[in-house]
Amino acid sequence: MNEAVNPKTVHKPLGKYSHTISVPPNARWLVVSGQVGVNAKGVTAAGAKRQAEQAYRNVVACLRANKMAKEHLVKLTIYLTDSRFVDDARAARLKVLGEAVQPTSTLVIVNALAAPDLLVEVEAWAAKA
């Protein structure tokens, strides 16, 4: 089982994430490409919050397709095209992943993503013993 550790010598996490996740030996790793707010039918969600929700649902779908669950998440990297979307992205993450799932996390504000209408992208790493 993956183990989260927040060292007492480092500040408390500023959000719903862990400073470190230790993965046991012989765990199976999964790397999920950046997921955006586009559903299986190719429709892009409207607005940053809906796009973030869809991106997280896509991450969860990729985990399930590989016989993993959101509890196996080790690392998330979230890309936003505007810092005004931070609260929407955090709310979407909480809605889809829940309170208990707190992998390591990095949030990056970028100038643009692969298409002009994309506002959010979520990349993930997971490990399962």
pLDDT in tens, 36-57: 999 999 999 999 999 999 999 9
For the stretch 52-86, pLDDT in tens is 999 999 999 999 999 999 999 999 999 999 999 99
Q: What is the pLDDT of residues 85-103, one digit of tens each?
A: 999 999 999 999 999 999 9
> CB-based contacts of 65: which residues, under 8 Å, 6+ apart?
none
Q: What does the pLDDT average to over 19-27? A: 95
On whether the 27-128 domain is CATH 3.40.640.10, my answer is no
pTM of the model: 0.95
CA angle 105/67/36 to nearest 5° reads 45
Domain segments of the chain as ranges: 27-128
